[in-house]
Structure 1
């Protein structure tokens, strides 16, 4: 499914499914920010408030924690979003304009 860390292949090597329909865009990053970055920042703030930790403590605790909770989930989340787009047959959004009713259609018995 992937060519490199996050780049999608043009098609599946096993079944030949064309991945041109897939556009996960920034979806994986959004989920990582919501579920991984917020706890990482909370850890950093807690360390600072509770212990007045020096910068080197943050460098050896918060930074690795943030990297370990943010980078590994990106690939599975991107795969999940592509699979979800395939399952739900997602397409690019389209605007549908409804025809505005004429006056005659609004009050058919007034004439």
Structure 2
């Protein structure tokens, strides 16, 4: 972050912005337009979210991590209780979908808040000129 680790007044910390979907500038709950889709801009302060490049990087890692954790839990349940297959389907399919969607919201919210607070931008070449 520029100027040390200070956060401007009104800006939520990265963890709070990520968990609650808050605007990284003013703290209004206006970051998402759908389950994991960003709004174009904040309705409260007008911050343009499209200038941040969050991308889909978190999606692959989260899906693999959440999938691995839920497989371990499903196998542990199966070894412990041996429920019928329909119990696994009713339990793990919605739990997986909810975990991936909420995980994406948190990861994307953390990335955009972190980019905003650190004033991250695309790299630019500086023309050195002929000395």
Q: Do the structures match in fold with TM over 0.5?
A: yes
Instruction: List aligned pairs for 1:28-43, cutoff 5 A.
Output: 28-30=58-60, 32-33=62-63, 35-43=65-73
Deviation of the 1:53 alpha carbon: 4.6
Structure 1: unaligned runs, 5 residues or longer: 97-111
Match of 1:88 in 2: 118
Contact 1:11 1:17 in 2 (8 A): yes
Larger Rg: 1
In 2, distance between residues paired with 1:25 and 1:91? 14
In 2, distance between residues paired with 1:37 and 1:94? 38
Match of 1:61 in 2: 91
Question: RMSD in angstroms over aligned alpha carbons?
Answer: 2.8
2:102 partner SS: coil
Match of 1:15 in 2: 45
Residues paired across the two proteins, number: 96
Deviation of the 1:31 alpha carbon: 5.0
In 2, distance between residues paired with 1:16 and 1:68? 30
| Distance of aligned partners of 1:62 and 1:5 in 2 relative to their CA distance in 1, 3 Å threshold | closer
User: TM-score, normalization: structure 1?
Assistant: 0.64
| Distance of aligned partners of 1:40 and 1:92 in 2 relative to their CA distance in 1, 3 Å threshold | same
Deviation of the 1:9 alpha carbon: 1.9
Structure 2: unaligned runs, 5 residues or longer: 1-30, 127-131
Equivalent in 73, 76, 100 of residue 103 of structure 2: 73
